[in-house]
Amino acid sequence: MRKKRAQDINERSTWQELTIGAEIYEPATSKLVNTGEWRVNRPVFDKEKCRNCMMCFLYCPDSSVEIKDECVQGFDYMHCKGCGICAKVCPFGAIDMVKEG
């Protein structure tokens, strides 16, 4: 079976079409799949407390922290998995994790 590119794999793929060991053959493929809908907790951003240190952006494993004009704007909830790393590394307490509604 040939290796499939991320664009070739979609939500309708069968398990037989997945790569062995779910190996990833190219970077940044998580942006192609909306994975946020199975999140249990979600980050809530307090703009007043934020000092734009970008620690949340640097540590987010899903690139879900939205930045505009060098300032944190919030989160991309379509890709955020609710891991809580952003809240843990924020030195100003600008991010709280809450149960998904």
The string of DSSP codes covering the chain is -PPPPGGG--TT--GGGSPGGG---STTGGGGS--GGG-SEEEEE-TTT-----HHHHH-TT--EEEETTEEEEE-TTT-----HHHHH-TT--EEEEE--
pLDDT, position 22: 62
The CATH number corresponding to 34-99 among 3.30.70.20, 3.10.129.10, 1.10.540.10, 3.40.50.360 equals 3.30.70.20
pTM confidence score: 0.68
User: What percent of the chain has pLDDT above 70?
Assistant: 76
pLDDT tens for 12-47 read: 677 777 667 766 677 666 667 777 778 899 999 999
- List, by residue range, all CATH 3.30.70.20 domains of the chain: 34-99
